[in-house]
Structure 1
Amino acid sequence: MIRRAERGDGLEISRVRIESWRTTYQGQIDQAFLDQMSPDQWAENWEKDFDQDEIFTYVAEIDNEIVGFAIAGESSEEDFPNHPYELMAIYLLKQHQNKGIGQKLVSKIIETFALKGDAGIHVWAFDDNPYCSFYKKLGGTPITQQVLKIQGKGYNETAYGWESIRDIRL
């Protein structure tokens, strides 16, 4: 089941985020950083952003357990005037990947953006992320690159974009 996140979901969303980071980026991102990630801290940040009108979250549930989520909203990046929407995060627990859940989350994101009007969308992904193929499968094309610093170490990432939310291939 895909549903709009509710206040109080923050801790479970954070658990999924951290577990996904630890399984996806093990050996790529500094292990000390992965080990120190705190569900309470991430939950607090998510709850703080919960009331922002321009950001929304959907969760995927199986047997009343959150197994994935997607956060999207209006981008604050001025460098992408043709891609004003942003898929800010999408994570699934490893055991629930490759089952179409990610596509269902993206579908909900598209539905929500469609109510605001048709426009382009982008998502940032680490270049070493093995799931960049997901964005390519959806028709995303690289639009720019940058280096993201985490605890002083640089990680290359690419922005994948679609000129229109209608261009996302589900």
Structure 2
Amino acid sequence: MNGPFTLRDMTLDDCRRVSEIRIRGWRTAYRGLIPQSYLDALDIDADTARRRARFAPDAGDVVNLVAELDGEVIGWSAHGPYRDGEVRTEDAELYALYVAPELIGTGVGRALLAESARRCVARGHRRMFLWVLKENARARRFYERAGLRAGGAEETFETDGVAVPEVRYSGVLPLPG
């Protein structure tokens, strides 16, 4: 499916569908990696409310993109300045990339990543970073095929009493993939 979908800037009206895709993505990709109790407790209405509250199309720092097919949002990515603690750097960070689970492997994720990378280059960013769950082999393969590499940095967050490790990936822009 490398063709019929389009990419565009996200609007406030897209927030609910983006929340649905994000939560379905978590429940699909993170099953067995994050406690099921946490995944089961994810709430689309609460996620939508949080997303709407912090959505600002003209904020400049964070760019939200969606992929759309026949009028329906089927994927979402968000990128902006790399966050080194509370400091924003000259590098870019891919904060999120989710595709409707039934459309994984159809080119939607590749297109969202490529457009995010293109926009980062246009803003003068020379590198892109992102964090991936250490045990998420499918996502790691996806980013590695796009030219990003794990760089040794790891962080752990806790969810429902379980430590969940993440690894940091980076790549020089523009990405080769």
TM-score of the two chains, using structure 1 as the length reference: 0.90
8 Å Cα contact 2:91-2:125 kept in structure 1: no
Report the counterpart of residue 55 of structure 1 in structure 2.
62
Report the counterpart of residue 3 of structure 2 in structure 1.
none
More strand by share: 2
8 Å Cα contact 1:82-1:120 kept in structure 2: no
Q: Helix, strand or coil for the counterpart of 1:103?
A: helix
8 Å Cα contact 2:131-2:168 kept in structure 1: yes
Structure 2: tracts of 5 or more residues without a match: 1-5
How many Å separate the matches in 2 of 1:54 and 1:80?
A: 13
Q: Does 1:123 align with 2:123?
A: no
1:62-90: CA deviations, max 9, x gaps?
12111111011112215998872100000
Go from structure 1 to structure 2 and tell me whether the alpha carbon gap of 1:80 and 1:99 turns closer, same or farther (over 3 Å shift): farther
Matching residue within 142, 152, 169 for 2:150: 142
8 Å Cα contact 2:64-2:76 kept in structure 1: yes
1:5-40: CA deviations, max 9, x gaps?
011211100000000111111122111111110112
Matching residue within 16, 23, 26 for 1:21: 26
Q: Does 1:5 align with 2:10?
A: yes
8 Å Cα contact 1:83-1:121 kept in structure 2: no
8 Å Cα contact 1:83-1:161 kept in structure 2: no
Report the counterpart of residue 34 of structure 1 in structure 2.
39
The runs of at least 4 aligned residues of structure 1 exceeding 3 Å deviation read 78-83
Q: Which amino acid aligns with 1:110?
A: A
Q: Does 1:158 align with 2:167?
A: yes
8 Å Cα contact 1:85-1:120 kept in structure 2: yes
Aligned residues: 168
8 Å Cα contact 1:58-1:105 kept in structure 2: yes
| Superposition RMSD in Å | 1.9
Structure 1: tracts of 5 or more residues without a match: none
1:39-62: CA deviations, max 9, x gaps?
122222222332232001111111
Offset, 1:118: 3.3
Offset, 1:112: 1.7
How many Å separate the matches in 2 of 1:113 and 1:90?
A: 15
